[in-house]
Structure 1
Amino acid sequence: MDYKDTHVTTNVCGTIGHIAPEYLSTGKSSEKTDVFAYGIMLLEIITGQRAFDLARLASDDDIMLLDWVKGMLRERRLDRLVDPELQSNYEETEVEELIQVALLCTQNSPMERPKMADVVRMLEGDGLAERWDEWQKVEVMRNTDQDHVPRHPDWISESTSNVHPVELSGPR
């Protein structure tokens, strides 16, 4: 898909939890909506959980996997993030890198998400550290500008719970 091409629809289709915030609020899809869904899919593979799970509400406040992952990272609970089926049979640094890629893919702003070609390069070990450091600096600045005090200066600050809807111009 040409990066300038988009598609607008009045019926938003997709799997709950995989739908990018801008597509949900505007009906406008782009290559970046697919990047968001890819990031969610990575998180599902890492955690062994579904993107949207009402059962998670019983034990946590978050029914969206993305919010739950960010909460676990804030608490530095990487051990709870990884699918228990793996039985500690994984490289912790590789899991951390995959989570970083997934979080870069699931940023609220589509303009800030990487292109899939960049995602492939990051998965191959090229440029992830620099991009992650850059993202963290932007997050610290964003939080400082908003609150004058950084709330979460390290891993996470965005959440799907604070996405502001975009008002449509009217019925289509």
Structure 2
Amino acid sequence: MGSCLSSRVNSESPLHAGASSRYVSSDERVLSSRRLSPATSVPHTPRGENEILESATLKSFAFNDLKVATRNFRPDSVLGEGGFGCVFKGWIDEHSFKATKPGLGIVIAVKKLNQDGFQGHKEWLAEINYLGQLHHPNLVRLVGYCLEDEHRLLVYEFMPRGSLENHLFRRSSHFQPLSWSIRMKVALGAAKGLAYLHSPEAQVIYRDFKASNILLDSAYNAKLSDFGLAKDGPMDGQSHVSTRVMGTYGYAAPEYMATGHLTAKSDVYSFGVVLLEMITGRRVVDKNRPQGEHNLIEWARPYLASSKRRVLRIMDPRIEGQYTMGGALKATTLAVKCLALEPRNRPPMNEVVKALEQLQDLRESGSVKSEVVHQKKQRNFGDDEVSKRRAGSYPRKSTTPVNT
């Protein structure tokens, strides 16, 4: 299958294009390096490692148990890979948490850290720091971790339908196009996750919101994953957090890229990017598109600023007929607000949630018929149970290296 060692490349420029994303394979561009000195490492955590591990309400796994659970990290157990490392499918007993045979107990996703740099350990610790304390229906559940000799692993709940990125952009029988209603359901769930992170209860800036970090359960409920770049929000009356620019090219807010000033509104911009991806079915950066269409936001902006009918020209043709004109306009208008160049003009995430809830109400009252038609078309692909199993599969690692 090849090496599972995808990682970021070194760069001093915030605009440098690096390698793939970190939870599942992707051809997105990374802005900065994963090999940083301790003085500039992110995310910043005021507590020490021992304090973080002791305070986390997580299961501490033995390396051998995870090795057995994943069948010795076999290649055919790989769910995906990224800069952090590979993710493997495994099985454990739901009560004892001991390894079981495939098909018995509960399914888990085991992320195994590449042993190639200090920053990887910091991201591993950041995951524990945040997901060991934060609990919400729209955040992926971290079951536990392994810290044994040189081994660093994280154990998550298994998300059977994989990432939003795969469903939007992969063209295969395993990933049929998501319907309009499911896209808006996913958008609402992801928005609720971000709103919780920005709330006074959590006060966290996610910093890496993108389609590959939105995972879907069997009912297409969205959960945010991968908190390796998350940061505590500004404290003591500060307006922002100053940090080295890191994230994924195309999703990062322009003011953050220019200044390193990070706020909750930076996440709002990233949400607007993903919402536009869901509306159009296009990647934010796609060099395979014709000249003038490589950058999604630049390509879509003239249509978004013109007449109502021109807005329909950016809609994903695969979902034609599944939405009302009013629903399409509300969704595109919300994306435009989130993508405002001035951070103060972007809505807070709790307002985004309300707007998407209203959009859900509009869908339920005005487009039920089109959704029924879509579901009938989907059943034509074959047996319903087979289709479900295929849609739930994670992608295998691409055999073609990503060009950078």
Deviation at 1:123, TM superposition (A): 2.0
2:287 partner amino acid: L
Aligned to 1:86: 319
CA–CA distance in structure 1, aligned partners of residues 300 and 321 of structure 2: 18
TM-score normalised to structure 1 length = 0.64
Which of 21, 40, 44 pairs up with 2:273?
40
Aligned to 2:356: 123
For structure 1, the 5+ residue unaligned runs are: 127-172
Aligned runs of 1:1-172 on 2, under 5 Å? 1=203, 2=233, 4=238, 6-10=240-244, 12-56=245-289, 58-59=290-291, 61-74=292-305, 76=307, 77-125=310-358
- Paired residues in the alignment total 123
CA–CA distance in structure 2, aligned partners of residues 89 and 119 of structure 1: 22
Q: Is the 8 A contact 2:303 2:314 kept in 1?
A: yes
Q: Could you say what secondary structure the match of 1:108 adopts?
A: coil
1:115 partner amino acid: P
For structure 2, the 5+ residue unaligned runs are: 1-202, 204-232, 360-404
CA–CA distance in structure 2, aligned partners of residues 29 and 62 of structure 1: 28
Structure with max Cα Rg: 2
Q: Could you say what secondary structure the match of 1:19 adopts?
A: coil
1:71 partner amino acid: P
TM-score normalised to structure 2 length = 0.29
CA–CA distance in structure 1, aligned partners of residues 339 and 284 of structure 2: 12
4+ residue segments displaced more than 4 Å:
2-5
Q: 1:78 to 1:28 in 2, by over 3 A?
A: same
- CA deviation profile, 1:136-165 (whole Å, cap 9, x unmatched): xxxxxxxxxxxxxxxxxxxxxxxxxxxxxx
2:313 partner amino acid: R
2:240 partner amino acid: T
- CA deviation profile, 1:16-61 (whole Å, cap 9, x unmatched): 21110111001111100000000111000000001112233x25x2
RMSD after superposition: 2.1
Q: More relative contact order in 1 or in 2 (CA 8 Å, sep 6+)? A: 1
CA–CA distance in structure 1, aligned partners of residues 341 and 305 of structure 2: 18
Q: Could you say what secondary structure the match of 2:248 adopts?
A: coil
**Larger helix share, 1 or 2:** 1
CA–CA distance in structure 2, aligned partners of residues 5 and 114 of structure 1: 16
CA–CA distance in structure 1, aligned partners of residues 305 and 342 of structure 2: 21
CA–CA distance in structure 2, aligned partners of residues 89 and 118 of structure 1: 25
Q: Could you say what secondary structure the match of 1:18 adopts?
A: coil
2:251 partner amino acid: H
Deviation at 1:78, TM superposition (A): 2.3
Q: Could you say what secondary structure the match of 1:124 adopts?
A: helix
**Larger strand share, 1 or 2:** 2
CA–CA distance in structure 1, aligned partners of residues 303 and 260 of structure 2: 31
